[in-house]
Amino acid sequence: MSRFSAPIAEQIWDMKYRFKEADGTPLDRTVEDTWRRIARSLADVEEDKAHWEDVFYAALEDFKFLPAGRITAGAGTERSVTLFNCFVMGTVPDSMGGIFDMLKEAALTMQQGGGIGYDFSTIRPKGADVLGVAADASGPLSFMDVWDAMCRTIMSAGSRRGAMMATMRCDHPDIEAFITAKSDAARLRMFNMSVLVTDPFMDAVKAGKSWDLKFNGKVYHTVEARDLWNKIMTATYNYAEPGVIFIDRINQMNNLNYCETIAATNPCGEQPLPPYGACLLGSINLAKLVAAPFEDGAVLDVSELEALVAAAVRMMDNVVDASNFPLEAQRQEAQAKRRIGLGVTGLADALLMVGLEYGTDKAAAQTEAWLHSVARASYRASVALAKEKGAFPLFDAEKYLASGAMQQMDEDVRAEIAEHGIRNALLTSIAPTGTISLYAGNVSSGIEPVFAYAYKRKVLQKDGSRTEEEVVDYAVALWREKFGDKALPNYFVNAQTLAPSAHVKMQAAAQKWIDSSISKTINCPEDIDFDAFKDVYMQAWDTGCKGCTTYRPNDVTGSVLSVSEDEGKAPEVVANTDAEPQQPHGDVIYMAEPLERPKELEGATYKLRWPDSEHAIYLTVNDVVIGGHRRPFEVFINSKNMEHFAWTVALTRMISAVFRRGGDVSFVVEELKAVFDPRGGAWMGGKYIPSILAAIGGVIEKHMISIGFIEGEGMGLKQDPTSAVVGLDTPRGKSCPSCGQFDMRMIEGCMTCASCGHSKCG
């Protein structure tokens, strides 16, 4: 009998976590094989391997403990990948050589699948003097553009995508440009962005004082603090970015504030990390721990929770020793502090099972109590590990116990730490769990509310047809199993109906016992008043949160899905957008996975003659046709000039490989058009073309326009082609770049696809 409670769970496992040969032949025959592979790998560093393998397997079984995706996919595969989810890179030097050394380190880290965070506050502002070269600095945003292109290039080469986080201090002279950078929809698409907000700045905002923007002690501008705060709020109101990180609070509450200073976070914000800091993630599935769900005696089994936490902490501690690291500095940092990020998922479902309404005072109190139990169990398990294997190398009992977070820890736990030390410097974090929660049967994600009780998911088959299946929330499915068609109780609430203040209340309740931070999205209605929107951030500040991320649907950010319920019918997710449908020629069909090449393809051949070149270049672009709609499928580039032979063959293969992966591949055009030749470009058709590669990009763009794949010149990646899919007349929000479904939603700071689990954050 299958362990999977829903088809989407098995599909996620097969697509993302199942160990396969390079040719796609499965090595994990069942999900039990996956659990056994992980358990055996993480027990390999133990003396009693067989015993701990069985303990770890029992924790993984039935989706009770969910290691993060990189552990689930990589442990025991002998592949050269990192099992760590996220890294903060080294401090960016304020020099050209140092900056590009950091770029290389970032590329190496992302190549192994790690998400990275950077503080760009260390780069001098735009217009500052550059000594020795008689020039002005281009500023940190110009280098962020370089990072963005690097990330996009690695992604297009087929590596597991890794997200990036960029932070900048609220007193940097370029902070206003940083705040508004994403108003250009084509810029910095690979970054999440957050402003590092300090305590003095928040005090200045509340007091109505002025605020100095400075670098290396020099004041460049003075602004009104409230004006700058309003610019941050306006940008996030309109574009959902930048987020806000209360950086002084993070450093004050850090268990390691005696030996590190934090200035950046991982891409989703739940892991504030020092230079070269790394963290692995995992989640306890609370929805699996409720006894007698929906009955009068329903309760979360705390003893089972504590045992599960102890096994999870040991497993994650072993990952520190079992994992590869892209950089030696990352290995040294991880082993010196052995920080882990154990969190929870399924919180909202667990609350429903015990009869509590998410967002109420009672639910917040229960959340705090459950996470207190997780914190106690985590710290006691780490103390036990320290007795057996030794404390983390930088442990200093007096300084550690005097740190901000440890001062509120229970006295008996503090006494144990003082006597025996502790194995892991930090232990708890609430990470994004969008994909692994789908894998676990569509439990509610992290500490988020249930997004929708049920929705319809269309699955594109290899023959071009689509099948439809219902995806039901785990708690709702359990209710149906117990009570059939009986109406859901009034305490069943979802993300669409909750007030923003209820979201903040739950985040603050969870934060008290989380020593790192929390990845959470506060959903705001589209018509929320701007002053009320600003109050959300002030509530987050006033209630002790370490950061705040909101999402307000609009024409720029895209629509979220809403729930409609007709009497007698299952709840269903429908598109919620007033966007006008595109013209018929703009319809685009996305592929869920690469398709086999048909025997015949429609296409066109174009002749390109580069000035001063003896021979013309001929480009053939062939399209796949699905349901009468076309999208680029392959490219052939030919020339009699043998000097072009190697790079034209390489370009042919690479572009064709990208086209066959599906999704929005218009970025190929933008990347090619951005290439410049240091020897000079040429004037063609009244325009200056910076290189022959840019000219090729222009030809491919012309073809994409002719088949309706993009709307016009310069529209690649500037506007998602979200036209109606064949047979559907309903206007849609943003489509998933992986599977093409219109199921994108903002969860825990990441746009995540409910159909395939795709997420910008990995």
Residues with active-site annotation = 266, 268, 270
Contact 759, 432 (CB under 8 A): yes
Per-residue H/E/C for 734-748: CCCCCCCCCCEEEEC
Contact 258, 396 (CB under 8 A): yes
Strand, coil or helix: 143: helix
Q: What is the DSSP letter of 532?
A: H
- The span from the CA of 31 to the CA of 37, in Å, is 10
**Helix 500-511 crosses helix 530-542 at what angle (to 10 degrees)?**
10
Helices marked H in 240-341 — which ranges?
Answer: 247-252, 302-322, 328-337
- Give Rg (Cα) of the chain: 26
The H or E element containing residue 604 is strand 602-608
Provide the pairing of β-strand 750-753 with 744-747. Answer: antiparallel
The contacts of residue 38 (CB under 8 Å, 6+ apart) are: 56, 60, 67, 71, 72, 75, 76
Closest CA to 135 of 148, 149, 124: 124
- The span from the CA of 140 to the CA of 143, in Å, is 5
- Amino acid found at 713: E
Strand, coil or helix: 273: strand
- The per-residue DSSP string of 315-381 comes to HHHHHHHH-B-SSHHHHHHHHHH--EEEEEE-HHHHHHHTT--TTSHHHHHHHHHHHHHHHHHHHHH
* Category of 628 on φ-ψ map: left (φ > 0), alpha (ψ -120 to 50) or beta: left
Phi, psi of 240 (to 5 degrees): 65, 10
CA distances, 760 to each of 161, 168, 537, 610 (Å): 7, 21, 24, 38
Tokens for 381? 């398990």
Closest CA to 707 of 636, 634, 627, 624: 624
Using the Cα atoms of residue 284, residue 286, residue 291 and residue 292 in order, give the sign of their dihedral: negative
Does the N-terminal peptide bond of residue 242 adopt cis geometry, omega within 30 degrees of 0?
yes
- The span from the CA of 747 to the CA of 241, in Å, is 14
Tokens for 457? 């998911």
Match 């559907």 to its residue by tokens: 728
The contacts of residue 431 (CB under 8 Å, 6+ apart) are: 68, 85, 268, 270, 271, 281, 283, 341, 343, 446, 519, 748
**Helix 530-542 crosses helix 225-239 at what angle (to 10 degrees)?**
110
CA distances, 126 to each of 135, 173, 194, 215, 348 (Å): 11, 8, 19, 11, 46
Phi, psi of 475 (to 5 degrees): -70, -40
24-38 exposure pattern, b = at least 16 Cβ within 10 A, e = fewer: eeeebeebeebbbbb
Distance, C-alpha 501 to centroid of its chain:
24
Using the Cα atoms of residue 258, residue 262, residue 266 and residue 270 in order, give the sign of their dihedral: positive
The H or E element containing residue 179 is helix 175-180
